[in-house]
A and B are shown apart, each in its own frame.
Chain A
């Protein structure tokens, strides 16, 4: 499978706990994106990386959220001190750096905070 891979697919956690999601992009895609999607809404941009550099962060990304892409390959998204409002699907996507290329999405990681 050469698509975008996300892990875990589902996570249930208690409020106040930390959670981490991992994304493995399509091989050789230098751009990687994180989006959040709540029920009945479209995905909303959180942040993106070009190689290992985090170039943009949305205002949606509070101080409790941190994303890394240490070697320019896989990425992690950590949420600290989770709140019920963090319950959502977290989508990862990647694309190559060439112009006109398409962003491809993974299957998402569902987070439920109880």
Chain B
């Protein structure tokens, strides 16, 4: 069975601070995908990144960066120079990679509430 753990329930930072959101996952699959989604108060889940299990290169997109470490089953997300607009709940998720069977459904963690204050 797949499992995603986000141990940080809530994080509060002051604007311009860097913040890292942790994600640890469990799966028996050798091929899988990892995701991060952002959920603002409106409720919509906004896709941020997808990573496949064969690609351990870190990725940077503007103020966002992701650190995937297969050896520790972690896929952490860092926001540099945080802004108030970053305040939201962030979810890490996992899916199997096959395009048939299982439908690539996502298994989500419980989310981390990020509050960025002035």
Q: Which A residues are within 8 Å of any B CB, using their own CB?
A: 31, 33, 35, 40-45, 48, 50, 55-56, 89, 91, 93, 95, 97-100, 102-108, 110
Contact = CB atoms under 8 A, between A and B. Distances in A.
Contacts of B103: 31, 33, 48, 50, 55-56
Interface in B72-118: 91, 93, 95, 99, 102-111
Contact of B108 (A42, A48, A50, A98): A42
B45 interface: yes
Interface residues of B, number: 26
A48 B105 contact: yes
A89 B99 CA distance: 27
Given A42-B91, A42-B110, A42-B111, A103 B43 contact: no
B90 to A, nearest CB: 10
B47 A104 contact: yes
Contacts of B37: 105
Contacts of B106: 35, 43, 45, 103
B42 interface: yes
Interface of B: 4, 33, 35, 37, 42-47, 50, 52, 91, 93, 95, 99, 102-111
B44 A43 contact: no
Contacts of A108: 43-44
Most chain A CB within a 10 A radius of its CB, from B37, B43, B52: B43
Given A42-B110, A102-B50, A110 B43 contact: yes
A40 B53 CA distance: 28
Query: Sorted from nearest, which 4 A-B pairs have the closest CB atoms?
Result: A42-B108, A105-B45, A107-B44, A48-B103
